[in-house]
Amino acid sequence: MIDALEQISDFVWKIPVDYKPGMRVPGIVYASKELLLKAKEDKAIEQVANVSFLPGIVSASYAAPDIHWGYGFPIGGIAATDYETGVISPGGVGFDINCGVRLLKTELTAKEANRMIEKLMLEIAKNVPKGVGSRGKIRLSRKEMAHLMTEGVRWAVGRGLGWEEDLVYMEEDGRLSGADPDKVSARAYERGLDQVGTLGAGNHFLEIQEVVEIFDRKAAGIFGLFEGQLVIMIHSGSRGVGHQICTDYIKVMDKAVSRLGIELPDRQLGCAPIKSKEGRDYYAAMACAVNYAFVNRHVLAHWVRESFERVLNKSAESLGMNLVYDVCHNIAKIEEHNVGGETKNVCVHRKGATRAFGPGHPLVPVKYRPVGQPVLVPGDMGSASYILVGTERAMQKTFGSTCHGAGRVMSRSQAKKKIRGHELRGELEARGIKVVAGNMGLLAEEAPAAYKDVSQVVEVCHRTGISTKVAKTRPLGVLKG
């Protein structure tokens, strides 16, 4: 597969459209040679070619430098399909619908708060349920959950959870329109009734971090970031609700593919025309999970603010705990883009990828519009995370998209065999990182060694201009499931 790639530039590679009969567009991979060789170890690059078979796909099937194998689409995969003639695919979104990241800032410096990190982490751990199947402090009736999935974060703000101004600093203002709770199965409801405000497990985390380097002072100033600052990064998603909705609609799409005679190289790419009943139903259910995930991160942030208030005996407002931004990673959205000089509506699938809209875009908050949308790239709990900014180049080249994280190089089972959770925690704590984890086996699965070097991933995005570096952070305290 690697031999078939054409090198376009130092960090851009092309899979020609004649690589496989049936490809409708080429594949475009953003990667250094080193990252490309890592991607070769699984079948992710082959998946980029497979995605190009989707009916109605526009321009190319793209891969960000954190690409690795996923269900149907690679994680780090981006594909836009024509809204009128194209398809929508649950595999292009993934099981953890709207897995995403939010960043809270503070006016504290890490130096000022250093003595308090352990106390803060323990207080957060008391307030934030974590781990597989964890149950939250909020219990919903079915009717309330339907409201939540329709209203998004406004549902939470209306119940005194979080701040009104938070709504401005979220992708889609914390609510994707088009949600229809009637398209969500009883099982998905059942799984979601007690999981709002829970962190989950896997690669999800909650970290207290220090801003250690500023690359773009103008953008950092507008985002309210400075060197030495204490910030909080929250990485979580739609929990069991999103997983169940994806599971439910994969079965629906299987039948649609057979009924419509859609030819695909991999059944995991199951899909249906966006405007078909199956396509519309999936979008409406997916939007419910998207909104559930927004609320989940929002409630987690509320518990974090309360934890800081209790430990520091000051209000979250006086501590400057404002939301910098909240971005989605696993989502499909109808967006307007320039395709061949013409403005078109397309359905952009971002599977382990981040929206990266550039300066001046009307969907970027007014305050950030001079520089572009913040892009939050979580690391591996041992090294660094990054704040980037969206660019005009991303709008032109990748449908306003960029990377979403480090990307795995080792499966979870491989990591568990090679790494001991207790030893890993000891190593991280020896480096000054306080670790609170519910399960040592799950901690081992997410060891830094199981991931690519996030700095290399970010560097490719920066060098190619599909997002550019603003700030780098390092973890001081990590909460894992």
Catalytic residue positions, numbered: 404
CA distance 182 to 197: 23
CA distance 250 to 208: 37
Strand partners, 58: 80
Question: Do the beta carbons of residue 320 and residue 282 sit within 8 Å?
Answer: no
Q: Say if strands 468-480 and 434-437 run parallel, antiparallel, or are unpaired.
A: parallel
Looking at residue 155, its amino acid is W
Secondary structure element (H or E) that encloses residue 435, with its range: strand 434-437
CA distance 444 to 260: 44
- The dihedral sign for the CA sequence 454, 405, 296, 155: positive
Tokens 């480096």 label which residue?
431
Looking at residue 168, its amino acid is V
Looking at residue 203, its amino acid is N
The tokens for 321 are 């705990």
Tell me how long the chain is. Answer: 481
- The overall longest dimension of the chain from CA atoms, in Å, is 65
